[in-house]
């Protein structure tokens, strides 16, 4: 019997398995578990599975697996879900939290607003810029890594058929590990984005590392300032740039708990 919690950050939804005290899903089966239960019509349905465990040096350790069974380095919305769950479970308190990920240790600040809602701000680190506005597949593409690799494309209209356009860039040889592909419309110190995610192999309603990547590139190109609202299909995220780091703030919600009786 496997107990899980369903959470989402801006409608980017996850199954969380709590391995804080003991391993629940054997290492050799984590990918298979994820592939099976992320399926929306044959499983629980999710954009990924989060595994929360203890860290030898940080407050928490997070691992994430994509629906195709692959393990990315980081997830901007997922890390908020992990911290939200850990606060509710009493593993950590509001304030400063350090989360160990494959991409490195991520500094978190968690607070409650006047409505008692938890807001989680993550230090996404210094973005690693690869190139700016290089022509790929007939579009100007910028590349940056904010924990995972991203392609950023600025557009005037977000109505492009992403499912047709994005895969060619996601699989382009210039990205040896593949890349998430972000289509970005610029407003006044605001961005609106749609993201096609590798591993999900589809558009998701929000991508935290994609929001950070888009804000970083837009700022570098002088399209926005240091404080940026990023609108995704799933809601609003707040990005800020300071000392070459990108900070991303948003909420996370626990939706329900469930039991998987056999696997």
Nearest residue to 220 (alpha-carbon basis) of 156, 130, 102, 95: 130
Whole-angstrom distance, CA of residue 141 vs CA of residue 150: 10
Residues 6+ apart with CB under 8 A from 97: 59, 60, 83, 86, 107, 108, 109, 110
Whether 75 is catalytic is yes
Q: What is the pLDDT of residues 230-247, one digit of tens each?
A: 999 999 999 999 999 999
Indicate whether 97 and 202 sit together in one domain: no
For the chain, how many structural domains are there in total? 2
User: Rounded to an integer, what distance in angstroms lies between the CA atom of residue 58 and that of residue 101?
Assistant: 10
C-alpha separations of 159 from 133, 178, 185, 192 in Å? 20, 23, 11, 12
Q: What is the CATH number of the domain that holds 161?
A: 3.10.310.10
What is the structure's pLDDT at 193? 98
Global pTM reads: 0.94
CB 226 within 8 A of CB 189: no
Task: Please check whether residues 30 and 84 belong to one and the same domain.
Answer: yes
**What is the rounded distance in angstroms from the CA atom of residue 154 to the CA atom of residue 157?**
9
Residues 168 and 141 in one domain: yes
Whether 207 is a known active-site residue: answer: yes
Q: Single out the catalytic residue among 15, 165, 207, 213.
A: 207
**Of these residues, 60, 62, 75, 103, which one is catalytic?**
75
Domain range for 134: 128-243
164 shares its domain with 58: no
pLDDT tens for 79-103 read 999 999 999 999 999 999 999 999 9
Look at residues 169, 184, 168, 209 and name the one whose alpha carbon lies nearest to residue 66: 209
* Short-list 175, 104, 185, 103, CA closest to 144: 175
Condensed to tens digits (0 to 9), the pLDDT of residues 37-56 reads: 999 999 999 999 999 999 99
């Amino acid at each position: 019997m496997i107990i899980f919690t369903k959470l989402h950050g801006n409608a980017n939804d996850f199954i969380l398995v709590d391995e804080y005290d003991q391993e629940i899903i054997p290492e050799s089966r984590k990918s298979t578990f994820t592939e099976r239960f992320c399926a929306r019509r044959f499983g629980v349905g999710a954009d990924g599975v989060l595994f929360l465990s203890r860290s030898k040096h940080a407050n928490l350790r997070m691992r994430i697996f994509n629906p195709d069974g692959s393990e990315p380095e980081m997830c901007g919305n997922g890390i908020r879900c992990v911290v939200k769950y850990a606060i509710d479970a009493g593993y950590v308190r509001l304030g400063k939290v350090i989360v160990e990920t494959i991409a490195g240790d991520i500094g978190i600040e968690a607070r409650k607003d006047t409505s008692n809602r938890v807001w989680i701000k993550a230090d996404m680190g210094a973005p690693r810029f690869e190139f700016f506005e290089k022509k790929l597949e007939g579009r100007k593409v910028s590349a940056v890594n904010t924990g995972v690799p991203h392609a950023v494309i600025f557009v005037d209209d977000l109505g492009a058929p992403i499912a047709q356009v994005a895969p060619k860039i996601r699989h382009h040889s210039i990205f040896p590990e593949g890349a998430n592909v972000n289509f970005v419309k610029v407003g006044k110190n605001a961005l609106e984005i749609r993201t096609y995610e590798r591993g999900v192999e589809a558009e998701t309603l929000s991508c935290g590392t994609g929001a950070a990547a888009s804000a970083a590139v837009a700022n570098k190109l002088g399209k926005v300032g240091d404080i940026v609202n990023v609108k995704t299909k799933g809601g609003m995220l707040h990005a800020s740039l300071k000392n070459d780091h990108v900070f991303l703030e948003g909420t996370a919600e626990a939706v329900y708990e469930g039991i998987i009786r056999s696997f």
